[in-house]
Amino acid sequence: MLLLLGALAVQFAPVLGVPLHTKFGRDSSIIHEERLRRQEKVCSDPGTPTNGHRKPHEGGSYYRVGEEAIFVCNGGYTLEGHSLITCTLNSDGRPSWDYPTPQCIGESSAGNLQLLQAELAG
């Protein structure tokens, strides 16, 4: 369903029923489209670890509750943390990530970290 309000059209996605704001130019071309995040519970972009990347996601930078972000480190780096994090609802009903964004540690840094952890446990 599409409602026209001057140069602004409010479109409702047929499957989700989530309103989208769509602005059209004078030639009816789409200038900008933005999902109204306040209408839908989504987690913000979890970021990308330095020396690594996040696998592509259909939703772009925003993740709906239940969707997962998957991280991978570049060659020569070790992932420190969880490679998969999930957008969940916290105790007050707000969307948040179940774990922090992981880090990609260089091999020499990973060795130093293990030594430091062993010394602290020692």
Task: State the Cα–Cα distance between residues 38 and 112, nearest whole angstrom.
Answer: 44
What is the pTM for the complete model shown? 0.57
Sign of CA dihedral 111, 97, 88, 70: negative
User: CA nearest 68: which of 52, 79, 57?
Assistant: 57
- Adjacent-strand bridge partners of 68: 86
CATH classification code of 42-121: 2.10.70.10
The segment(s) of the chain belonging to CATH 2.10.70.10 are 42-121
What SS3 state is found at 52?
Answer: strand
pLDDT in tens, 84-107: 999 999 999 999 999 999 999 997
pLDDT in tens, 18-64: 444 455 555 554 443 344 444 578 998 999 999 999 998 888 888 99
